[in-house]
Amino acid sequence: MNKDAKIAIILLMKGIFYKSDNEKAFFELVGNSYGAISDYFKTIGLEVLVDENDGYAYLKNRNYEDESEALPKLIASRELSYKVSLLCLILRKKIAQFDMQNENEKAVIGKEEIISNMSLYMDIKFNEVKAKREIEATIKKVEELGFLKKIRNSEELYEIKSAIKSFVNVEFLERLNERIRV
């Protein structure tokens, strides 16, 4: 296994791996070394998922048909808070709109637009400052998840990362709908 393949493995282990993080390692992942990298993770119960069109890859727990072969889950599933789920939903809607209008550009959203959209679903009548701080904390959590990236030299603009399309899907929407009804 060459150095770029090893770098791809390390970047995958850190979270969502975007082509822009290291193009050589990404091309090694989707090209020459996909089989070796996939086999490497398969031995520890993980699956490599790659979206070549949008330029990202990530790991998820492998699903086993035969429970006797199943390994303990390495990647913990965690429930997202209502605010994080809401922001992910807003970002998913925004990137869908952006994809229809602009083909080869990055989807960008401003902090004020995020605050404005989230405020529609939050009770901020009494304490706007507290609500704004909560929304800013939510933005930071979504950044940590890898779905937003602050644009250099700007405190107000964020790039919406394309991997959100894989995570905010019909299943995600159904779970969010259930939480809202309860």
Q: What is the pLDDT of residues 66-105, one digit of tens each?
A: 888 888 888 887 777 888 988 998 998 888 888 888 766 7
Within a domain: residue 31? yes
Q: Are residues 41 and 126 in the same domain?
A: no
Tell me the C-alpha distance between 80 and 141, whole Å.
Answer: 10
Going by pLDDT thresholds of 50, 70 and 90, the confidence category of residue 179 is: low
Pair (87, 172) in one structural domain? yes
Alpha carbon separation from 124 to 6, 18, 69, 133 (Å, rounded):
48, 36, 50, 11
Contact (CB, 8 A) for 166 and 146: no
Q: Is residue 10 part of a domain?
A: yes
Residue 56: CA count within 13 A, CB half-sphere: 18
121 and 146 fall within a common domain: yes
Tokens representing residue 20 in the block: 């822009």
Residue type, 13: M
- The whole-number pLDDT of residue 113 equals 94
Four-residue CA torsion sign, 31, 40, 13, 166: positive
Q: What is the mean pLDDT of the chain?
A: 86
**Same-domain status, 64 and 86:** no
Specify the pLDDT at position 165: 86
- CATH code, domain carrying 96: 1.10.10.2260
- Looking at the fold, whether 165 and 90 belong to one and the same domain comes out as yes
How confident is the model at residue 136, as a pLDDT? 92
pLDDT at 174 over 80: no
The answer on 161 and 102 residing in a single domain is yes
Q: Are residues 46 and 90 in the same domain?
A: no
pLDDT in tens, 142-151: 999 889 999 9
Q: Does residue 115 form part of some domain? A: yes
pLDDT at 104: 64
Same domain, 51 and 93: no
- 160 within domain boundaries: yes
The per-residue DSSP string of 123-171 comes to: --SS-HHHHHHHHHHHHHHHHHHTSEEEPTT-SSEEEEPTTHHHHSSHH
Helix (H) or strand (E) segment spanning residue 76: none
Structure-block tokens of residue 63: 């699903």
Q: How many domains would you assign to the chain?
A: 2
Q: Do 15 and 53 sit in the same domain of this protein?
A: yes
Domain assignment of residue 152, given as a range: 82-181
